[in-house]
Structure formats: structure tokens, C-alpha cells
Amino acid sequence: MERFLALFENPTVLKFLKLGLWILLIIIIIGFLRKILKKRIEDTSIRYKAQKGVEIIGYFLIFLMVFMAITVGDIKDYTLIIGLFTAGITFTLQELILSLAGSFYIFFVRVYKPGDRIEINNIKGDVIDIDSIYTTLMEIGEWVSSDNYSGRIVKISNAFVFKGPIKNYSMDFPFVWDELNVLITYGSNMELAKSIILEKANEFLSDYTEKSMVQWQEMVERYYIENATIKPTIAVQLTDNWIALNLRYITDYKLRRDTKNRLFSSIEKALKETEGKVTLASTTLQLLKIPEVEIQLKKGYEGI
């Protein structure tokens, strides 16, 4: 027993014993992180990559400690050496480290997920993939109008989640407010036009209104936000040329363009059935012909 206890007084034995404890601690941490990732990340591919990343980092630390135990005489200098090494790696690979940190932030905080429509770094699109370094978007906009795909695949570094705002069109509340301007002439029956527009909007958007009311109530209970009007509303604006009836309504964030097109077609058809009581306005330009001018000179000025 005395010989066994005497072994722990040997500096070399103590050094390797401490090394073994450090290695055991790292292995335990690796296993713990793997279990957390397995519970929090649903996507199989992303979960596999994240778990592999944790293993690689852990095994690299173990290799580093064994290397220092062999080359450095005293194990108590581990903290200083690891600190200096980490500082150098951080400075050299800061963008890569930020991207890796951003991927963990995206997964754990649920900033966005595949299928969400977001705008980040002034680029708008649908998230089609998230890996440990990049977020991949199917781009929307640019040279095409409204919310149509441009056809380009955009990869954005995950580091951007720390550098600016992220606009999510679908998280918690997958609806957006949109507006439609209906222009009528001053001679039209404005009250009739308003009633027709609201009737068609309520009829056409009833499903969106019912679904969005439930989710908006959840938003009000979850966040510090005031209640809002979900049903379609109309605001009137008088201009020099016409009366602008501004219809504000809620719709699915992915069907905004299609909803506006079908809604306006329905309203236009109903207004035409009023037999002239409501007339849609438009900008009209009238070109006038300049009349011919005849010039006659008196006899006294003919010689000039």
C-alpha cells in the first residue's frame, strides 16, 4: 500500500495522472455536447455535421494536451499555452469561427430554419439549406418584380447573424400585410365602391383572416406588442386626379403577388357591374393641335 501511495509522489506519475483527468474531462464534455445536439437539431445531415465538428475539436484538444505533456516539462502551464494558442487561432480564423458560432446560434435560438423566407445582408430569399458555415437561399427579387424567384442560389456566411438585422417573414406569424390601391373618378359613388371592395376582400380573404387571428393572438400573448386589426380595412385619399381607395389586408407571405392579382380582378369585375355608378380612374393625356396662324403685312412694311 505504501509503495502504491508512493507512486503518486512521483512527479512523472502525477503529470500523466493530471493528463488523464484532462482527457477524461474532454471526452465527457464531447459526449454531453453530442447528446444536446441530438435533442436540439432535427435535421439528420446537420446533426451529423455538428456532432462530427464537436468530436474533431475535442480530439484536437486531446492531441494538443498530449503534445504539450511531452514537449513541456510542467503541466501547470497548460492554461497559458492553450490561451495563447486559442488567441492566435481566433485572430487567424475569426471569420470561420464566427460562421461556426453563427450556425450554433441559428440552431439553438431558432433564428430561422429551412423553408423560412428571410432577408439578411440585404438579400431576400427562401432558406433551402443550413450547414456549419453557410446559409443557402433561393434568391427573390433583384431584376424580377414582386416576390418571384430570380433563379440564383445565394450562399451567405452564418457570421452575418451577428452583424445585422434578420428579417423573417414566416417565424411565429407566417402572414404579411399588403395594400391594394383602387382608383375611382370623382363622379363615382364612393360609398358604394367602398362597400363593394370590403365585401369582395372579406369574401376572398376569409380563410387568411381566420387563421391569422389565432396566430396573432398568440403573438400578442408571447411578445410585448399591441393588438392589430386583422380584417381588411379601407383608407380614402383625395388627389388632384382621382379618389384613391387604399385596401389594407393580410395574406400568406408566399402568396402575396397571386393574392393581389386575383383580388383586384374580383373587385374590378364587381365595379364594372355597377353600370357606371363607379368608374375606375386612370391618367389621361389629351394632345391639342396648335391652330395655324396667318400673318399679313401692311403695304407700308412690305419694303422693309
What is residue 247's predicted lDDT score, i.e. its pLDDT? 92
Between CA 108 and CA 171, with CA 46 as vertex, the angle to 5 degrees is 45
In 3-state terms, what secondary structure has residue 87? helix
What pLDDT shows up at residue 248? 92
- The reported pLDDT for the residue numbered 245 is 92
Q: Which of 238, 243, 212 is nearest to 227 (CA)?
A: 212
* Of 184, 185, 207, 148, nearest in space to 267 by CA: 184
- H/E segment holding residue 130: strand 123-130
Q: Output the pLDDT for position 36.
A: 81
The kind and range of the H/E element at 197 are helix 190-204
Distance CA 297, CA 227 (A): 79
Q: Which three cell numbers stand for residue 292?
A: 395655324
CA nearest to 23, candidates 69, 87, 72 = 69
Dist CA 163 CA 37 (whole Å): 25
| Per-residue confidence (pLDDT) for residue 144, from 0 to 100 | 77
pLDDT at 240: 82
pLDDT digits (tens, 9 = 90+) for 181-231: 999 888 889 999 999 999 999 888 888 888 888 888 888 877 777 777 888
Helices (H), the chain: 2-7, 11-40, 44-71, 78-92, 94-109, 190-204, 206-222, 256-272
**Phi, psi for 242 (deg, rounded to 5):** -160, 175
C-alpha 129/C-alpha 300 separation (Å) is: 91
Q: Which residues pair with 251 in a beta bridge?
A: 176
Which phi and psi angles does 288 have, rounded to 5°? -105, 135
Low-confidence ranges of the chain (pLDDT < 50): 75
Give the other-Cβ count within 10 Å of 200's Cβ: 21
Each residue of 228-270: pLDDT tens digit? Answer: 788 889 999 888 888 899 999 988 888 888 888 899 999 999 9
- Beta-bridged to residue 152, according to DSSP, are none
The kind and range of the H/E element at 96 are helix 94-109
Q: Are 62 and 30 in contact (CB under 8 A)?
A: no
Q: Report pLDDT for 75.
A: 47
Q: Return the pLDDT at 205.
A: 85
Which domains can be identified in the chain, with CATH numbers? 7-92 (no CATH), 111-168 (2.30.30.60), 175-272 (3.30.70.100)
